[in-house]
Amino acid sequence: MHPVTTVHYLALSAALLLIGTVGVLTRRNIVVILMSIELILNAVNINLIAFSHAWHNVGGQVFAIFVITDAVAEAAVGLGILIALFRNKETVQADEIDLLKW
């Protein structure tokens, strides 16, 4: 049985980053875009914790906790804005929301 190394964590993080980036750039549904942003933030957390473990330093774990709290705040604010937009426009499609147009 082979041990799990930092390279394995980096490969997982790269896959999550790629999936999240593709989701943000190609999807029209705002809920899917928010979930893709969460995937990107989780990729960052995996990198932080993997390097923290490899270098025997807790600084990466502390930053990962800050990223998690930031992700929670982003999800709460994003879903609040999404609910307000859905009440006004009755859609969750990103390209159909044009509130800032004249």
Could you tell me the residue ranges of all domains in the chain?
A: 6-90
Contact 39, 1 (CB under 8 A): no
Helical pair 30-54 and 6-26, crossing angle rounded to 10 deg = 160
Q: Quick check: 100 pLDDT over 70? A: no
Using CA atoms, how far apart are residues 96 and 90, in angstroms rounded to an integer?
Answer: 10
In this prediction, residues 54-61 reach a mean pLDDT of 96
Cite the DSSP H helix spans in the chain.
6-26, 30-54, 59-89
Q: What is the CATH number of domain 6-90?
A: 1.10.287.3510
Using CA atoms, how far apart are residues 97 and 80, in angstroms rounded to an integer?
Answer: 15
Q: Quick check: 53 pLDDT over 80? A: yes
Using CA atoms, how far apart are residues 98 and 78, in angstroms rounded to an integer?
Answer: 17
Q: Quick check: 102 pLDDT over 70? A: no
In this prediction, residues 46-51 reach a mean pLDDT of 97
Q: Quick check: 60 pLDDT over 90? A: yes
